[in-house]
Structure 1
């Protein structure tokens, strides 16, 4: 009787548990099932169509049937409400528009189309006819040969950054050589371009003398620094350590742990402010702490459209300043250094120089294909031998090579891509990156600003090695 009772108890107990079998644990899930389901909330099968992005924060999804209640308790609701009440928040001010062509044209704040994802771009490329695909590749090579073959190498490690390159900084600060070299070269190019004052250190001096020299040399030329896409803020950390700055504004839409903020706040003479906002929505002229202040804009690896939004945020304001009073109240751009990256994420709507692309004979569809091709420059398919060689020399060699394509009448784009050597795909990707960044450079120059596009580190340090410098 006891055994029967025990089995009955086990059966009843099992009936109150989720029926999802866990093969690794060799038992059923121990969670309680939902009221109308044999499974718990984690294992109930639901259709993907039921899930929609949260309107407050699209990075997470919610069941459509629960959307109304979720909107009242979304963890980011309070943050979104607080942000929307800030004077510097202006929805979509730096987004651009699908049909934006003329300078000074008002941007379309309400987005017309959703983001064109990499998968959508890939599908569009593979849906092309083979002749059209080959024609696009030929056009890319022709445009690159005419305007993009003179991007100079400019790997600059300034003497001012020796405390970082020699690992003389606080051991508690994270140190990765490749990131330190990239950050130092960004600052070195700003110094070379005349934006930062050059700091010379006496090699035989004591540490105290060096510190004294730094303080006297790097006086107060830099009023403020705004780092876009700041992440943890270690580019600004190096700038503060090596050049001395009075005011720092970090712009980042995400929240990060292990930020440089704690170390920066320990500097007595430095004022630090961090804005958690998307660059797309930032009206820099409305930031109270920057009113009437000259600033330098910096950004290390601003992904895809973030570069275009940053350029609009910093530079477009010049054409909008019509009166002396307004100009005096606005912040003034003194210099800019943006390391571009993730060109495959670029969007036609956000791109800063659509007129340039159209002038080169590229359509919106061509731009989407070009931006997708850029992923070939940094993916793992072309092997490690390309990443450690001289990119410029490889571009020159490959561009001169005669391509032998399969009969385009008998094959599709997929067949052509599969027959391309990895090195050829990589070189085509680099060409597309050059074309996209060349358009950005031309737009900045068209605003009357002295600017240059350089390769600020070798490919062996980072294949994402374009830096747009301006003053």
Structure 2
């Protein structure tokens, strides 16, 4: 049996209860194996065990950074530093490197790095053909491209500091931190003035209730920001019907799974063999034949960052009303979207009809992109305060929830099919959450540097999120948008990020 040591500490909760915490640590692995919490008032003991996977994880031979496992026969000799091992691919007879890493072979004369992306290589004789179809090739600029037109303050984005906002928060004295928390709570209470955000449960089926959503009309243009694979547009189109017009904006080239689903749906009931095809030109416009031979449903994908999107130059929007939607638009992407819409209505008044944006990932908001700095200044918050508030928003969503049971027939087959590429913003948001979870510890009852309990931190984190969201509401109202409000569109049981910004500008 491995030897263990015990670390004992005492803490006092917000209700005055004293608790003694004993952490049992395995000396060999330096991992916690058990946590014992004793309530001194009731003399009750609670035991927590660490994750068995973490406790029983065996160290693989190639996990040793000083002695990595050597490559076997016919194995590539390229060392992958990130994984601390050699490449697993096989080599040709007499070669030391696989085809992908042949560029590192001094004797190689066949393969060269791709000029567009050094992460992959190409056979020298096929270079010309490869450059025509390489996924990393620079795309032609769209008609609506205007560099950084939706960024509010570029100088603020370029500022750098020695310490992160998270480190600055932890280094604050207890008195200064409590004052900062009080300032945020006072600002939140003043912004909402006792009003609560209503809950209106929405789902894909609600889109079919055309009487409730009278903004769904075929003559409007539907634009999805951060479209990804295009699932939200797919359900909007099912509700609106054909012919209609859709624009999908995303800076990454996804698998476009639901674009293909649109094609499949139209082809199933079509009597014309040519109607189930989707034609694509250099501008990424897809025309999907509808039941009427005289008109078409138009779907256009824009592979660009929202920060460079100028809607006033988009020809598809000419003389039409715009309905903007987005499902989980991460952090500053929401602020870029709101700035994009306001710039559009400044150039073309009364052009935006409806907006629906599901808000999320406030921890990766950036001051130079936040749409309403005047709102922050009104409550006495500067850039440093804003960055600290963004860090505190993680407290609302870093809690542990029970996993939802899979539906029948959806077990293992779902995993590989539904695996999608992740946005850079999503990866950054997950990194921020990971930091927050690590500092909070595995057990929510352990003492926290803030002096607040787990429940208090969760409630305070949600208020930080809603305080920033109210600044977005005021920004749209100040620029002439009507009926701007926040809504909880699902319960927290299904998503901790359950708040949406809705505009009914009709």
TM-score, normalized by the shorter chain, greater than 0.5? yes
Q: Using a 3 Å threshold, how does the CA distance of structure 1 residues 416 and 194 change in structure 2: closer, same or farther?
A: same
Structure 1 position 297, deviation (Å): 0.4
What pairs up with 1:56-455 in 2 under 5 angstroms?
72-74=116-118, 82-83=138-139, 85-97=141-153, 112-113=158-159, 120-148=164-192, 149-157=194-202, 181=203, 183-184=204-205, 187=207, 194-196=214-216, 220=218, 222-244=219-241, 246-257=244-255, 259-265=257-263, 266=266, 268-269=289-290, 270-319=297-346, 321=347, 327=348, 332-380=351-399, 417=449, 419-450=451-482, 451-455=484-488
What does residue 493 of structure 2 align with?
460
Structure number having the greater strand percentage:
2
In the TM superposition, what whole-angstrom CA distance separates every residue of 1:366-412 from its partner, at most 9, and x where no partner exists? 1111111111111126x669xxxxxxxxxxxxxxxxxxxxxxxxxxx
Structure 1 position 468, deviation (Å): 0.9
Q: Using a 3 Å threshold, how does the CA distance of structure 1 residues 112 and 260 change in structure 2: closer, same or farther?
A: same
Structure 1 position 237, deviation (Å): 0.9
TM-score by length of 1: 0.61
Structure number having the greater helix percentage:
1
How far, CA to CA, are the matches of 1:237 and 1:462 in structure 2?
21
How far, CA to CA, are the matches of 1:419 and 1:151 in structure 2?
27
What does residue 49 of structure 2 align with?
none
User: Helix, strand or coil: the match of 1:417?
Assistant: coil
How far, CA to CA, are the matches of 1:458 and 1:44 in structure 2?
40
In the TM superposition, what whole-angstrom CA distance separates every residue of 1:55-78 from its partner, at most 9, and x where no partner exists? xxxxxxxxxxxxxx8765457997
How far, CA to CA, are the matches of 1:122 and 1:353 in structure 2?
23
In the TM superposition, what whole-angstrom CA distance separates every residue of 1:9-44 from its partner, at most 9, and x where no partner exists? xxxxxxxxxxxx74899962137999xxxx744359
User: Helix, strand or coil: the match of 1:457?
Assistant: coil
In the alignment, is the contact (CA less than 8 A) between 2:323 and 2:353 conserved in 1? yes
How far, CA to CA, are the matches of 2:345 and 2:376 in structure 1?
23
How far, CA to CA, are the matches of 1:139 and 1:310 in structure 2?
29
Structure 1 position 302, deviation (Å): 0.4
What does residue 80 of structure 2 align with?
42
| Matched length | 330
What pairs up with 1:20-31 in 2 under 5 angstroms?
22=62, 28-30=70-72
How far, CA to CA, are the matches of 2:138 and 2:68 in structure 1?
49
How far, CA to CA, are the matches of 2:463 and 2:211 in structure 1?
28
- RMSD between aligned alpha carbons? 3.9
In the TM superposition, what whole-angstrom CA distance separates every residue of 1:56-109 from its partner, at most 9, and x where no partner exists? xxxxxxxxxxxxx87654579976774453322222111221679xxxxxxxxx
How far, CA to CA, are the matches of 1:296 and 1:93 in structure 2?
21
Q: Using a 3 Å threshold, how does the CA distance of structure 1 residues 72 and 243 change in structure 2: closer, same or farther?
A: closer
User: Helix, strand or coil: the match of 2:329?
Assistant: strand
Q: Where in structure 2 are there 5+ consecutive unaligned residues? A: 1-60, 85-112, 121-130, 267-287, 291-296, 404-445
